Amino acid sequence: MSLLLLLLFSLSAVHASPLTRDTGMASLAMSTKINMAGVSDVVQMDLARVQSMVGTLTSSEPWAVNIPNKIFSYTAEIGVGTPPTYHTLVVDTGSSNTWIGASQPFVPTNFSVNTNNTVSVIYGSASLYGEEWLDTVTLTSSLVIGQQSIGIALVVANFLSADGVLGLGPIRLTNNTVQNTFQVPTVTDNLYTQGKIAQEVLGVFFAPVSEPDSNGKLTFGGYDSSAITSAVNYVPITTTFPASAYWGIDLSISYAGTTILPSTAGIVDTGTTLILLASDAYQAYQSLTGATLDPNNNLLMIDSAQYANLKPLSFNVGNTIYDLTPNAQIWPRSLNAAVGGNSSAIYLVFADLGWPSGSTGFDFLVGYGFLQRFYSVFDTTNQRVGFATTMYTDSTTN
C-alpha cells in the first residue's frame, strides 16, 4: 500500500489545451481505507518514503520507490486473469510496478504466462520479491489490458491492508526491478499502446478524508470534467533530477505575501500523506504561523487563536495560484488519535524534508494534503502535470 495521503483559487485565467473527454476514456472508483491503530509517526513514514525516492536513483540496484502509508490509503479493485480474479490494490503515482499476492493468492488461468523472471521492488522498509507473470488485467469493462507484466508476490515485508500496488508512475521507476528486463511497460503505457485510451493521461480525484463520502476516482485517457470547477492548468515535467524521474514539477510557495520557497523542483505524489518542504521553507512557515512542534508525533501544532489568524498558503504553479485554505492546512481533527495526537489539538499537515532548498534537486513533495483539495492530471503523452479546483477546494470539514 502506498502512503497515500495528505493538498484554488486562480489569480490568472487558465487556457489549457483540452484533452479528449468523450472517447477513449474510462473511470475507475477508489475506496478510502483508514487505519486507526498501530501507526502514529506519519512524519517518519513520509520521510522514509522520500529517502528511498532520492537515495537510490543513482544506484544500480532495483529502485526503492517508497514506504507504504499505513494511516490512509486509496485502493481500487483490479481483475487479473481470464476470467478475472479481483484484487484490492493501493493506487500509487510514486511507483510503477503493478503486483498482487500480499494477502490473496494469485489464480493463474489458461492465458497466464510465467516469464521465469523475478521481480524485486523496495519500498523503504517494505519490500516485494516475487515472480513476473504476463496476464490480462481488467480495470473496467472497457479497459482490459492483454499481456500486462504483473508481479506475483513470494515474499512481502511490512506491507499491510491491501493485496498489492497499482503502479501509476513513470516507466523509469521500473528500471532494474524485473530480472533480464531494463524497463517494464506500466498499466497506463499498455492501455495507450493497445489502443484502449486516446492519450496516455491519468486524472485523479480525491476528497478530504473528513468528508462523508471520501472515496475517489481514477480516469484513464483524460480527466473527469464533472469533478472540476475550473479549467486544468498544466506545467511541464521539471528537468531537475531527481524530481524529473517522478511526476516532478517546478513551483514556488508563499504565505501571506512572503515567499517561503522560491521557484524550485519537487514531486507530486498520491502516495504521500503530508506536504514536505525543504528545511528553510518549513522553518519560515513555522515562524510565520507561530506553530510549535509536538514531540509526540513530530507534527506542527497551533492553538485556536493561531488557527483563526491562519492565512492561505499559495502555490504558484505555472503562473496560476492555488491557495491552500486554512482548513486545508490542518490535519483532520477527528483523526488526531491516528497520529498519536491530543484530541483537542490542531495539527498542521507539513513536515521538514531535512535539507536546505537547492541542495538535492528535490525541495518539496506535494502529497494528499494538497491533492485532496485539487484535481490532478498526470499526462505522459505531453510530459506535464495539471491541476484544477474541485468542490472540496474550500471545504471546512477538517
Is 267 within 8 Å of 243 (Cβ atoms)? yes
Is 269 tagged catalytic? yes
Overall size of the chain counted in residues: 398
Residue 386, SS3?
strand
Kind plus residue range of the DSSP H or E element containing 305: helix 304-308
Residue in the structure block whose three cell numbers are 512542534 = 293
CA nearest neighbour of 264 among 279, 285, 243, 287: 243
Share of the chain residues as helix, strand and coil, in percent rounded to the nearest 5: 15, 40, 45
Edge-to-edge strands, sheet with 346-347: 292-294, 299-302, 346-347
The DSSP 8-state label assigned to residue 46 in this structure reads H
The DSSP 8-state label assigned to residue 3 in this structure reads -
- What is d(CA 269, CA 379) in angstroms, rounded to the nearest whole number? 14
- What is d(CA 125, CA 49) in angstroms, rounded to the nearest whole number? 9
- What is d(CA 301, CA 303) in angstroms, rounded to the nearest whole number? 7
Residues 6 or more apart whose Cβ sits within 8 Å of residue 90: 1, 2, 4, 68, 73, 74, 75, 161, 162, 164, 165, 166, 271
- What is d(CA 50, CA 297) in angstroms, rounded to the nearest whole number? 18
Is 138 within 8 Å of 100 (Cβ atoms)? no
Catalytic residue among 135, 189, 250, 269: 269
Is 137 within 8 Å of 122 (Cβ atoms)? no
- What is d(CA 154, CA 106) in angstroms, rounded to the nearest whole number? 10
Across the strands, what pairs with 29?
Answer: 217
Catalytic residue among 92, 224, 250, 363: 92
- What is d(CA 52, CA 67) in angstroms, rounded to the nearest whole number? 8
The three cell numbers of residue 170 are 513513470
Catalytic center residues: 92, 269
